[in-house]
A and B are shown apart, each in its own frame.
Chain A
Amino acid sequence: MTIHATRRHLLQTAGLGLAAVPLMVARPSFAQSSGKTYKIALSNSYIGNKWRLEMENVFKAALAMDPFKTEVVGSIYNSGNDVSKQSQQMSNMIAERVDAIVIDAASPTALNGIIHQATSRGILVVSFDSGVTAPSAIKVNISQYDLGKGWAEWIVKQINGQGNVIMVTGVAGTEVDLDRNKGADSVWAQHPGIKVVNRFTGMWDSSTAERNTAAVLPSLPKIDAIWCQGGTDGVLKAFISANRPLPPTAGEAENGFRKMMLGIGGHTVTGYSAGSPPYLSLMALELARRILNGTYPKKNIDVPNVFLSNADLKLGVNVFADQPDSFFDDFTAGGPTSPVDICAQAAIDGSACTDQKLIINLPAA
């Protein structure tokens, strides 16, 4: 039901968007932005999944909210995972003489040349999510290692250091997958009572995770806990289909997983939910603004991981009954003291929040 409603909604917005966007959008260009102080552009490698969409939506919404509304003229570019296109777009940003470029990169190294060109022209480059190796770029990220470790530590506590665990990993060969697994393995190594009975990939995708779980489940003994990098709701659905009880599960921040943590849909799971938050783009944007106006030192920041247990979940705040299972609930950390607080509407369609202020708390300098 919800999926259908959303798809229709998306189609409608897309249709309206196409009709409304003439080839050349008369948007205020940088050159005319005399009242505003900074020009900041987001260079995103691709927009092929829900996470990237939410990441871009909150960025777009933030640009229409204070403090960015008055201080920043922003723009957003996608490059279809094509490095040379992203590089070309960034050189156009340099030509536009932006003050800062915020990037989610298509390659850790292939943009180093253009990043160097930007920074040597005095343009601030802040990378987040898919990071870059260029030393002159400022990096904003969570620790993937700590995330994997945090999930594992919670499991150890839940099952008192004794029991069978399955690990559902991510896309092999990526740095994120590697780091998360390393974090988990560091914990298992200290708890010989934990037995990882199977380790298979879920490709960070619900349906893949569900299929692969269903395939291995019949051969597995009783599972005491699930450690899952992504597609968590799919893994649990496979357990339900196999009439297995749902063990304590540490997983990503998918709405489907959190709904189960609240018991929506008839099955309840004890869970521990955290992930790479889409609001990393906001942290990067805020960092760029603060560095530019001199209120924050020019240094990398580690965004703290926010783990939520069943008790932390609130419908309409960090779980959404009317959003699809694939929606990432961690577009906001929730609450004025958390790293980021922004409304759901911003993540859904990129519109500015009407009833709340945007809060972004950078770690103490």
Chain B
Amino acid sequence: MPIPETILAASGPRRSRLSHALTQNIGLALVVALLVACIILYCGLYIATQHRLPGGYELTSTLNNTMPLAFAALAQTLVVLTRGIDLSVGGVIDLTNAVAALTLMGGPVSTTIWTIAILGIGALCGLLNGVLVAVGRLQPILVTLSTLSIFQGIAIKILPQPGGAMPPGFTGVLANPNVPLSLIYIPLIGILWAIFRRTRLGVSVFAIGNDAMAASSHGISVKRTTILAYMLGGVASACAGLFLAANATAGDATTGDTYTLTSIVAAVLGGVSLFGGRGSGLGALFGAFVTVMVVNILFFAHIDPLYQTFYEGLFLLAAVIAANVIGQIVRRRR
């Protein structure tokens, strides 16, 4: 081994591993703190008004109601990390939800096959977005705004009247009203995210979000990575559509619309930077839970109905400001 002539010696002790981990995952740490705060506040209000502790039903229904948004936020995160944005999330949810309503009615075998096919539809939607953005070199916001309308249009065409009835087994697995099965899905998403982050694709997604030019000069294919990110996002959106159908027990080609905006809110609350390259799917997942906890808190606070949205906005604004301030303080103190 060659001996270097000059050594650039360390000037002081290195910062601890924990200190690095905290500052580099500050977004995630903050959303976890926010979620804990929300849960405490919710429990406090619940006990004050109901004189008992929230139990299994509250847990199950909150989880089941959040899973579609959690997947939508995950979908949004995958795309936002590449410095893009996916406004078609709601459209993919509409479309997959509609297809689910039309096809999921048979036995377990046909249901499984169709479920996989629906995930494939999500991937195809993502492929379309990804190709238009990466190969067509079009602005993601314009591409996905257009495909949002296209997917919505197809959804309403194939399912003009809300309807369908999910097989009980399907609902029982994805959105069981009696057992908090989602407690399994959340760690599962966490594990999948950790795996994704440790694949070359995962690193590439972050890298092109950091600086596409620099990433490509180190051999990362920006086109391929972008397309795959949109495709994975499409699959996550399709998951959202399936969980939504399971929870509703039926399909409606328009109920996905609101997820476009709420998925962005959840991702940003979860510490995902809209400028790309920073954030985590886990954070977005927790961000989704925060937005639902806010609904719960406002419910048990018995706010005048006319001002519920006002306080919801206020609450989210306060959360974002608080997170920002704490983040700045932590970064300054380095």
A–B proximity contact (CB within 8 A): yes
Q: Give the B-binding residues of A (Cβ under 8 A).
A: 14, 17-18, 21, 23-25, 27, 29-31, 44, 47, 56, 75-78, 80-85, 87-89, 91-92, 94-96, 106-114, 116-117, 133, 173, 175
> Does B273 touch A at the CB level, under 8 Å?
no
Q: Check B305–A77 contact: CB distance below 8 A.
A: yes
The complex places the Cα of A27 from the Cα of B299 at a distance, in Å, of: 12
Q: Check B248–A113 contact: CB distance below 8 A.
A: yes
In the bound complex, residues from chain B placing their C-beta under 8 Å from that of A92 are 58, 295-296, 299-300
Q: Which of B50, B156, B164, B255 contacts A106 (CB 8 A)?
A: B255
> Does B177 touch A at the CB level, under 8 Å?
yes
Closest chain B residue, CB of each to CB of A13: B306
In the bound complex, residues from chain B placing their C-beta under 8 Å from that of A117 are 61, 177
Known pairs A83-B258, A88-B295; A109 contacts B304 (CB<8 A): no
The complex places the Cα of A110 from the Cα of B255 at a distance, in Å, of: 7
In the bound complex, residues from chain A placing their C-beta under 8 Å from that of B249 are 112-113, 116
Q: Which of B62, B250, B301 contacts A112 (CB 8 A)?
A: B250
Q: Check A87–B65 contact: CB distance below 8 A.
A: yes
Q: Check B302–A75 contact: CB distance below 8 A.
A: yes
Q: Which of B292, B302, B305 contacts A24 (CB 8 A)?
A: B302
In this complex, the member of A17, A29, A81, A84 whose beta carbon has the largest number of chain B beta carbons within 10 angstroms is A84
Q: Give the A-binding residues of B (Cβ under 8 A).
A: 45-46, 49-51, 54, 57-58, 61-62, 65-66, 68-69, 101, 156, 160-164, 171, 175, 177, 244, 246-252, 254-255, 258-259, 262, 292, 295-296, 299-311
Q: Which of A25, A87, A109 contacts B301 (CB 8 A)?
A: A25
Q: Check A84–B156 contact: CB distance below 8 A.
A: no
The complex places the Cα of A109 from the Cα of B246 at a distance, in Å, of: 12
Q: How many inter-chain contacts with C-beta < 8 Å in the A-B complex?
A: 142
Q: Check A113–B162 contact: CB distance below 8 A.
A: no
In the bound complex, residues from chain A placing their C-beta under 8 Å from that of B51 are 31
Please give the distance in Å from B89's CB to the nearest CB on chain A.
13
Please give the distance in Å from B196's CB to the nearest CB on chain A.
25
The complex places the Cα of A87 from the Cα of B292 at a distance, in Å, of: 11
In the bound complex, residues from chain B placing their C-beta under 8 Å from that of A29 are 49-50, 302
The complex places the Cα of A76 from the Cα of B101 at a distance, in Å, of: 31
In the bound complex, residues from chain A placing their C-beta under 8 Å from that of B292 are 84, 88
Q: Check A107–B156 contact: CB distance below 8 A.
A: no
Q: Check A78–B252 contact: CB distance below 8 A.
A: no
Q: Which of A78, A82, A96, A110 contacts B50 (CB 8 A)?
A: A96
Q: Check B252–A88 contact: CB distance below 8 A.
A: no
The complex places the Cα of A85 from the Cα of B46 at a distance, in Å, of: 18
Closest chain B residue, CB of each to CB of A28: B302
The complex places the Cα of A117 from the Cα of B254 at a distance, in Å, of: 22
In the bound complex, residues from chain B placing their C-beta under 8 Å from that of A106 are 255
In the bound complex, residues from chain A placing their C-beta under 8 Å from that of B302 are 24-25, 27, 29, 75
The complex places the Cα of A175 from the Cα of B249 at a distance, in Å, of: 21
In the bound complex, residues from chain A placing their C-beta under 8 Å from that of B69 are 84
Q: Check B308–A78 contact: CB distance below 8 A.
A: yes
Q: Check A133–B162 contact: CB distance below 8 A.
A: yes
Q: Check B258–A112 contact: CB distance below 8 A.
A: no
The complex places the Cα of A23 from the Cα of B49 at a distance, in Å, of: 15
Please give the distance in Å from A47's CB to the nearest CB on chain B.
7
In the bound complex, residues from chain A placing their C-beta under 8 Å from that of B160 are 173
Q: Check A23–B311 contact: CB distance below 8 A.
A: yes
Known pairs A92-B300, A113-B177, A117-B61; A47 contacts B254 (CB<8 A): no
Q: Check B303–A21 contact: CB distance below 8 A.
A: yes
Q: Check A107–B58 contact: CB distance below 8 A.
A: no
The complex places the Cα of A92 from the Cα of B50 at a distance, in Å, of: 11
Which 6 A/B pairs are nearest by Cβ-Cβ distance? Answer: A91-B61, A109-B250, A109-B162, A76-B305, A110-B248, A113-B249
Please give the distance in Å from B201's CB to the nearest CB on chain A.
30
The complex places the Cα of A129 from the Cα of B303 at a distance, in Å, of: 24
Closest chain B residue, CB of each to CB of A31: B51
In the bound complex, residues from chain B placing their C-beta under 8 Å from that of A24 are 45, 301-303
Please give the distance in Å from A89's CB to the nearest CB on chain B.
6
The complex places the Cα of A88 from the Cα of B42 at a distance, in Å, of: 14
Q: Which of A27, A85, A95, A107 contacts B162 (CB 8 A)?
A: A107
In the bound complex, residues from chain A placing their C-beta under 8 Å from that of B295 are 85, 88-89, 92
Q: Check A91–B162 contact: CB distance below 8 A.
A: no
Q: Check A110–B306 contact: CB distance below 8 A.
A: no
In the bound complex, residues from chain A placing their C-beta under 8 Å from that of B66 are 84
A-B contact pairs, 9 of them (CB 8 A): A29-B49, A29-B50, A47-B305, A84-B255, A95-B61, A107-B255, A108-B162, A111-B248, A116-B177
